[in-house]
Structure 1
Amino acid sequence: MPRSFIKRIATIAASLALAYSAGAAAAPSHPAFKVQVTGQGAPVILIPGLASSGEVWDGTVAHYCGSRQCHVVTLAGFAGVPAIEGPLLPAVEQQLSDYIAANKFDHPIIIGHSLGGFVGMKLAADHPDQVGRLVIVDTLPALAAVQMPSITGAQMKEMAAGLRTRMESMDAETKRANQMKTLQSMITKQEDIDRAAAWGKQSDPATVTNAMVEMMSEDMRSEVGRIKAPTLVLGSWIAYKDYGSKPMFEQMYKSQYQQLPNVKVELADNARHFIMYDDPAWMYDRIDNFLK
């Protein structure tokens, strides 16, 4: 084989190696979450809630990812994904924005549950030109204001600090018992409760506490006014029927989202907090109509 040919092949190989290494260096990293990509077509980003795996969206992916490409994230510190240093929610928000830009997504659909819905809300408010449509599954702009709508920012931070103290003072057995009790109020079927509990056991306790405190400390009620994306909010109320009627809970949801100009709020009758488990048909029907 001529030496000139060998030299030419070596030059091409070196050039390719440099190109790939340059591309890898240029690609933004996202240690605040891992991503599972499924399907082809217009992008959909799905964000799970506190201490949950992206697997919570398996049924949603099966429903939507024939004609769309789903990017299912699991946040750092949850369900076995390594934790990161520093506040989680701002890191996830910024890295999701970078991920959208790096992949040149054209106004993707964002679907988030609970804490994931709060992250989606912040992403759409802080980067309004990046998000096409937003689906928020059972969360609110100001969780701390549910019982006291007039609560101030300082009072929210004080309440969140108290929550941190309570969570950090619990021993492991008490935490497990509280987790199971909480999940039983949020999910109906035992197999789904067990699945979510397993994710909780794989989650970093400090990350779970810090993320919950971060969310409880924030008031997004006025910030949602910066969201440009049409937004669908799907809520639940049946687990709290002893505390009020459906119209009362609907009014509470709508009042928290009143600054969001293009929002539709609907509450499920037969689903607890994990609507994708308790009544997926209802959830898909509402999202289908919204996307049309």
Structure 2
Amino acid sequence: MKKIIVLFVSIAVSFSIQAKINSQAIHVEVKGEGDPILLIPGFTVPGNIWYPLVEKLESKYECHIVTLAGFGGKEPVEFPWLPKVNESLKAYILNNNLEKVTLIGHSLGGTVATWLATQEELDISQIILIDALPASGALMFPNFDPETLMYESSYNNQLLTLDDSMFEQTATAMSKNLSLKVSEQEKIKNWILETDRKTYVYGYTDYLKLDLREDLKKVSVPVNIIAASEPYGKEIVHQTYKNQYANMKDYNLIIAEESGHFIMLDKPDWFIEQTLLILSNQ
């Protein structure tokens, strides 16, 4: 009997591990009909952040709304997380025969959209980036070297071991830097708390390691960037984007004044108006 129990437990553990390995790196909801648009949210953010925009798009466009593994209650995947996300999105575009697809991405989602635009096999018509950089790590670390960013670090270990109360305090503090609206800060905080903790910690390491600055030379489609003016001000924002996108042949930079990082939450009507204008000019 003991052997049977041990065997059963072994099978159950094996099944659990295999299920996690086989879980999806991306989850996609499709709304509307017409030319395809793939919408990729930022770090910790579920795809439903795009719903207000999709309501304006779905009569003319087929909207593919992405939620990434580990976010919005979705199951996590094995690490490294971000390479799996990138390759899964690339495979999704190819497997669903999305032609002349527009990519819209916020923050991390914009970085991923930029990576997709460098892939020769994909038929991308344009990319719209919302407060997104090709190398966020280079902005945070003066002597940036992706190879030095490891999962095993004192900072990561501290985040992993924080109790729920302390982690909520951390999430609250972070949310205040991402939106100017108190009501939206609460929403952002809750998205952070809903995120799988390991994905939050190790996934962010993946994000900081990604450096696409050299790859920008491969982007040949129209690029529109909507950047937040706060908290640094327009002058610094212009200089930051000029430095980060120096290798991109051409792009149009639009500044969202009096807005934090979550432009679609701080200035929802203006954001939708700008996006529709960009799409109408394509």
TM bucket (normalised to shorter chain) is 0.7 to 0.9
Give 1:161 shift.
4.6
1:274 aligns with 2:267: no
The verdict on how the C-alpha distance between 1:149 and 1:125 changes in structure 2, with shifts beyond 3 A counting, is farther
Residues 60-82 of structure 1 show CA distances to partners (whole Å, capped at 9, x for unaligned) of 11122221011101101101011
Partner SS for 1:182? helix
Number of matched residues?
Answer: 259
The answer to whether the aligner puts 1:130 opposite 2:118 as a matched pair is no
Note the alpha carbon deviations across 1:13-59, whole angstroms, 9 max, x for none. Answer: xxxxxxxxxxxxxxxx9811111111110111111111111111111
Tell whether 2:184 aligns with 1:192: yes
1:228 corresponds to: 220
- Find 2:165's aligned residue among 173, 177, 182: 173
Q: Distance in 1 between matches of 2:151 and 2:86?
A: 24
Unmatched runs of 5 consecutive residues or more in structure 1: 1-28
TM-score, normalised to structure 2's length? 0.84
Paired amino acid for 2:257: D
Q: Distance in 2 between matches of 1:151 and 1:160?
A: 18
Residue 90 of structure 1: aligned partner: 83
Say if 2:243 is the partner of 1:251: no
Q: 1:5-154 maps to which residues of 2 (within 5 A)?
A: 31-127=24-120, 129-146=122-139, 151-154=144-147
Q: How big is the shift at 1:202?
A: 2.1
- Asked if structure 1 preserves the Cα contact closer than 8 Å seen for 2:32 and 2:59, the reply is yes
Match for residue 6 of structure 2?
none
Counterpart amino acid of 1:46?
L
Identity between Structure 1 and Structure 2 (%): 27
- How far residue 177 of structure 1 moved from its aligned partner, in angstroms, is 0.7
1:189 positional shift: 2.6
Contact 1:160 / 1:216 at 8 angstroms: preserved in 2? no
Change (3 A) 1:185 1:125: same
TM norm structure 1: 0.81
CA contact (8 A) 1:43 1:69 kept: yes
AA aligned to 1:103 is N
The alpha-carbon deviation at position 228 of structure 1 amounts to 2.0
Contact kept? 2:130, 2:226, Cα under 8 Å: yes
**Other structure's SS at 1:259 match:** coil
Aligned partner of 1:178: which letter?
Answer: T
Against the structure 1 CA distance between its residues 138 and 166, is the aligned structure 2 distance closer, same or farther, given a 3 Å change threshold? farther
Deviation by residue 1:63-115 (Cα, 9 ceiling, x = unmatched)? 22221011101101101011111222111211111111122111211111111
Which structure has the larger Rg?
Answer: 1
